[in-house]
Chain A
Amino acid sequence: MTKKAIHYINQFFGQVGGEEAADSKPIFHSELVGCSNMLNQMMPDVEVTHTIVCGDNYVTNHTDVALEEILGWLEKQEFDLFFAGPAFMAGRYGVGCGLVCKAVKERFDVPVITSMNEENPGVEQFKTEAYVFQGGRKATFMKDDMEKMAAFAQKIVKGEDLKPAAEEGYFPRGVRFEIPHPEGTMAADRVIDMLVKKLNGEKFLSELVIPKMDKIPPAPAVKDLSKMKIALVSSSGVVPVENPDRIQSASATKWGKYDISKLDKLPQGVFKTIHAGFDPAAMCAVPDRGIPVDAMRFWEKEGKFGKLHDYFYVTVGTGTTQAYAAKFGREIAADLKEAGVDAVVLTST
């Protein structure tokens, strides 16, 4: 069964004009324009139905308006795939393709496929948002680049197994999955091979390349603790015994927020831990050892700090992915800021 696709290109390839036409607004063609025809002919199971042509300056300088126009028009179309480019080394074209692909992916959740040269700044900016194929430096690579995009689209619509980024030819999107080892080689043999090569100073390929880390700068130190409103945030899994938000015992995808405004401690039997990564007996007996409300009330009464925030925030740390942890962090931080919390005691297990 044929699937439908829509193709986005810039003013130059859309035959509007060169640099002087870079401010042109989106034009929606139901007759394919320029390279869209070539793309269409490459895919037996995909029909390219429309070409969208937009000026590079327009989409990069007036992004919100441009995307609104494009997405608004797409709302009325039926399509299963979205293509943009190839953009070669053209920087603004690459960024334009990336912006449109990202917006289409978010709104319509269809596969979005583009192509750029590795030196195009659009690669770094959008490789996690779309399938960005590794393209040539200039338009003489048009056919080669589109063939890669087309072959991949064919695989998608035929439901074939999609291979890792390096094999398919797109820039890694920042996601990793399990696969059968390509040569079916046992891990112990792979270790020996890597070890002997490393010992002999030969080249070897690590199966997991350690990426650069996000460095989050620590917040500035609190100035006057006695005036600070402090909140308790924890990955200890301490929740009301009925676990009202059904937070998972491992690999959590949720966090909870619970009222402690009338409590001086977390009583046994009222709170418990649901964390599956340690022996829960001690913490269930004294839930304050996960979320130290008792100690915080003590120091609050002593005047050591201003006020304990009326709620604590909690999730389960074990097996919980970094992506979810970061999401929880952003959501909880937003809530804390709104509540005027100045500092946080973060307890872990």
Chain B
Amino acid sequence: MTDKFTQSKLDRCISCGYCLPACPTYQLTGDEQSSPRGRITLMRALQDGKMPFTDALEESSFCLGCRACEPVCPAGVEYGVLLEEWREISWQGKNRPLIVRGLFEAVKSKWRVRAMGVISPTARERKADPNLNLMMGCFERVLFPKVSRTVARIAPEVSITKNQGCCGALHAHNGELERGKEMAKELGEKLSGTILTTAGGCAAHLAAVIGNERVNEFSQWWSAQEKLLKPIEKNGKKIRIGFQDSCHLRNGLGIFKQPREILKSLGDYVEIPDASGCCGAAGSYSLLQRKNSRKVIAKKIEDIKDLNLDYVITVNPGCTRQLATSLRRSRVKTRVLHIAQLIEMAVN
């Protein structure tokens, strides 16, 4: 278990503050401690023993972990890694939120993850290309089983096995960094060749542990296949589509152009203001910080409403759930789908 931050990573930050405008929680509060720069200042004080870790627990939880501060940081500070270390050090014992403990239990072993899929009909097992294996996700199995079934239909070359565990992103982001890395390695050994995933968050974590070359996020993979798609029409008009980035896919792996290119070929693509900004799902954040999660998405819901979209497309199950729930609560008719599901509408 880590008990110290990696000093060289803390040293990278020169406190210039270029990250402030990119940070969703700083935008909410305007308080320095809710900014990436402020949080790194806190981490330094923790590292030097000037402050007990318990004092800063609240800020370690308030951070979405969206990593929007990373691409805008000229100094190249790896904030995401520092946050993982922070939670690894301080979210131990009674300081670990109950919900997180529950989630960890749910995905503890392969059979538990598999059991989650029993209640919902996910894709069937099959042997196709041995070097292209679908990652089933853990929570996606329960929440959105249609996504894996869709991928199975539109990508016949993909092999599918249900006997696989969680990738460990959940753990890495919630105070079990080492366990999270182990789980990613286990999954990397279980699935051979390229691992195809429909979850941007899982893609970024897996890639960070087992290497970028082993992991393909679905939109990234599809755009490389150069399969021609025809625009989708509704009542004789091209559908209006918006897109919500997956934070870790964009900020961690730099993938944001590919899904947009696909969507432009499928209909009338409209860029939602701040589409790259976190929707507030942020993995377990929407469960742990319900109020703040709602505050983060509020403006986005207004924007989507104003744009009068037919669909908002996502590339990560957490975002799908957050957007769908929030849009429903605000009585906005726009539907939320994973990009694979929209592609299937064009294929048919």
Chains A and B belong together in one complex: no
